[in-house]
Amino acid sequence: MADIAQKWGGTREASLAQTSLARLFDWKPFLVFLCLLPAIGLLVVFLTYPLGLGLWLAFTDTKIGRGGAFIGLDNFVSLWHDPIFWTAVGNTIFYTATATVGKFALGLWLALLLNHNIPFKSLIRAIVLVPWIVPTVLSAVAFWWIYDPQFSIISYILKDVMHLRSTNIDFLGTPWAARLSLIAANIWRGIPFVAISLLAGLQTISPSLYEAAMLDGATPWQRFRHITAPMLMPVLSVVLTFSVLFTFTDFQLVYAITRGGPINSTHLMATLAFQRGIPGGQLGEGAAIAVSMIPFLIAATLFSYFGLARRKWQQGETND
């Protein structure tokens, strides 16, 4: 009898455990947590930990090969009095603003062009994507050759073919020429992303809206102002946000072409953070420069949020 009771008790406990486990898996919050667990793990390992480590290093005097101690805001105070840092901040803002305006002006024009029925439209769309899919380093090497003071193809055409100049153009030898050359390279790389994204937004606009406007006698500018622009604004705000983020944090293109030269005049905040942190060995100071970029990135993210809120308003929904 004792063996039977013990066996029955074990079976009952196993049954209760299975029932509890089944209830647990039927509980919606647990299922949501279980499904999000892999994503949470990836975010913790590849985002939260590096971000937290960078924040901690920004408040220390850590150097390569030597652990650091907590020094508070000393790194930020030092940067406040560093003219090279402020040059990098100004370069970053100017670089981001100018390149973004150029990319969106040309990208919108290209998207509007590709939205019409033109010959070889599919082939042209594929060709447009080439600057975006080419690795950044290869693009940088190509532009480095184009901007070479001796072998530049632009200088060759202007001097030897068209005879418009008597000397070669020194694209990267002076601060402003180097800055504008980098902006031109960034615009060339960013146009495909803007154009294809805006083209996808244009494809969602009903042609009946344009037909009704044409029947009412609306001009092309009026159709663009009252139909295309408002309907494209939600997509435009998101694409603009991503473009600003990509441009503001640009590193490869600038570092591969100029490495911050001449005389630190083309440094962006990202390239200066790398130079101070890795080749310079000042990990704490480099992390402080990188942390200084966070407020600008948060502002761009908030811009995206308000853009999405505008989209809800256009669809007749209430904002959250």
Per-residue pLDDT band at 230 (split at 50, 70, 90): confident
pLDDT in tens, 162-206: 888 888 888 998 999 999 999 999 999 999 999 989 988 888 888
Nearest to 288 by CA among 88, 121, 150: 88
- % of residues, the chain, pLDDT over 90: 28
- Nearest to residue 285, comparing CAs of 302, 301, 308, 269? 269
Q: How many Cβ atoms sit within 10 Å of the Cβ of residue 131?
A: 16
Per-residue pLDDT tens over the stretch 10-23: 565 556 556 777 77
Q: Which two tokens stand for residue 34?
A: 């279980």
Q: How far is CA 210 from CA 47, 165, 194, 198, 217, in A?
A: 45, 48, 23, 17, 11
Average pLDDT over residues 238-260: 89
Q: Which two tokens stand for residue 199?
A: 């083209």
d(CA 191, CA 58): 35
> What pLDDT does residue 8 have?
46
Task: Give the separation between CA 181 and CA 178, rounded to whole angstroms.
Answer: 5
**CA separation for the pair 193, 242 (Å, rounded):** 10
Q: Rg of the Cα trace of the chain?
A: 28
pLDDT digits (tens, 9 = 90+) for 42-62: 888 888 888 888 889 999 988
For the beta carbon of residue 8, count every other beta carbon within 10 angstroms: 10
Could you tell me the pLDDT band of residue 96, with boundaries at 50, 70 and 90? very high
Residue ranges of alpha helices (H) inside 115-174 are 121-128, 130-133, 136-146, 153-156
Question: What pLDDT, in 10s, does the model give residues 126-174?
Answer: 788 888 888 888 888 899 899 988 888 888 888 888 888 888 888 998 9
Nearest to 108 by CA among 189, 194, 187, 186: 194
Q: What is the DSSP letter of 63?
A: B
pLDDT at 316 over 50: no
d(CA 218, CA 212): 9
For residue 162, what is the DSSP state?
S
* CATH class of the domain whose range is 76-314: mainly alpha
Burial class (CB in 10 A: 0-12, 13-18, 19+), 270: buried
pLDDT, residue 82, reads 92
Domain spans of the chain?
Answer: 13-58, 76-314
Of residues 310 and 216, more confidently modeled: 216
31 vs 4, higher pLDDT? 31
Identify the residue whose tokens are 């600038």.
254
Sequence letter at residue 135: P
